[in-house]
């Protein structure tokens, strides 16, 4: 039956940046669909752990700072040691640094591009190796942005890295579809999280943004639920290399 295709019973999902915001919302959605969840974060995931367990799923926290390559092996190893296998990866952790392009520093460039782009690619690679070794196939979901499609203002490294996430999602999908690995993306619109706090606190920008969103509201972590469960489940087995916007109509405008 069609709804059974959305079930994630028996699956293990790894979500980076699981302690808050969209990452936390997606952990809860995956748990509600039946998956056990591994939350990767720099900070404690107590709140996420409680929410996942309240939904009847198991939760493992892996504490890691993703600003170096070091945690990649640890994430896969600890997941497989604990749960025996890994089926879904959601690359959600990401940062943004705002400054005029004319004044943008090398640090602002490197730190953002490292985590949003380089770490994302190499964690995808490690997950794909695990999926191939398991002969199970797998699902990779990369969190892109409206700035995968548009230029943005005062966030050049974010735009560069999120545009790369869209392109890399296609590139990896092309190589790994033969192993039944689906690589897709979700491009959130303007969502109410820490990431956009500065924008929402700026009355002028807040007004400007809201007036351009056809849905007339900021998105929420719950708005990610349907898209992430779909792309993590058998319902999307023939969807490959596509980035789905969850944006209240922003891109359509």
Task: Report, in Å, the least distance between residue 134 CB and ligand NAD.
Answer: 25
| 158 catalytic residue (yes or no) | yes
Count Cα atoms within 13 angstroms, Cβ side, for 183. Answer: 26
Task: Report, in Å, the least distance between residue 20 CB and ligand NAD.
Answer: 4
| CA max distance for the chain | 56
Task: Report, in Å, the least distance between residue 33 CB and ligand NAD.
Answer: 19
Give the neighbor-by-neighbor strand order of the sheet with 138-143. 59-63, 36-41, 12-16, 88-91, 138-143, 181-188, 243-246
Nearer to ligand NAD, 13 or 115 (CB): 115
Nearer to ligand NAD, 34 or 142 (CB): 142
Gyration radius of the chain over CA positions: 17
- For residues 191 and 219, give the distance between their C-alpha atoms in angstroms, rounded to a whole number: 4
The DSSP line for 131-157 is HHHHTS-EEEEEE--GGGTS--SS-HH
Pick the catalytic residue from 158, 179, 230, 238.
Answer: 158
Closest to 43 in 3D by CA, of 10, 74, 12, 21: 21
Nearer to ligand NAD, 121 or 179 (CB): 121
Which residues bind to ligand NAD, rule: CB under 6 A?
17, 19-23, 41-43, 65-67, 92-95, 115, 143, 145, 188, 190-191, 193-196
Task: Report, in Å, the least distance between residue 187 CB and ligand NAD.
Answer: 7
The DSSP line for 154-182 is S-HHHHHHHHHHHHHHHHHHHHHGGGTEE
Nearer to ligand NAD, 169 or 195 (CB): 195
Task: Report, in Å, the least distance between residue 89 CB and ligand NAD.
Answer: 14
Q: What residues are annotated to the active site?
A: 158
């Amino acid at each position: 039956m069609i709804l059974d295709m959305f079930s994630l019973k028996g699956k293990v999902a790894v979500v980076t940046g699981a302690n808050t915001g969209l990452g936390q919302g997606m952990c809860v959605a995956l748990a509600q669909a039946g998956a056990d969840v591994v939350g990767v974060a720099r900070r404690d995931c107590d709140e996420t752990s409680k929410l996942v367990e309240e939904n009847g799923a198991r939760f493992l926290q892996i504490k890691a700072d993703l600003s170096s390559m070091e945690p990649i092996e640890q994430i896969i190893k600890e997941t497989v040691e604990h749960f025996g296998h890994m089926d879904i990866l959601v690359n959600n952790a990401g940062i943004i640094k705002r400054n005029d392009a004319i004044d943008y520093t090398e640090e602002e460039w490197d730190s953002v591009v490292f985590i949003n782009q380089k770490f994302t690619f190499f964690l995808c690679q490690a997950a794909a190796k695990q999926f191939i070794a398991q002969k199970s196939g797998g699902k990779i979901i990369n969190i892109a942005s409206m700035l995968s499609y548009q230029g943005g203002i005062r966030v050049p490294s974010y735009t560069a890295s999120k545009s790369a996430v869209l392109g890399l999602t296609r590139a990896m999908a092309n190589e790994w579809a033969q192993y039944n690995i689906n690589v897709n993306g979700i491009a959130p619109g303007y969502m109410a999280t820490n990431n956009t706090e500065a924008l929402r606190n700026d009355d002028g920008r807040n007004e400007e943004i809201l007036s351009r969103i056809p849905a007339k509201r900021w998105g929420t972590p719950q708005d990610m639920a349907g898209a992430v469960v779909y792309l993590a489940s058998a319902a999307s087995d023939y969807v490959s290399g596509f980035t789905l916007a969850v944006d209240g109509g922003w891109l359509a405008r």
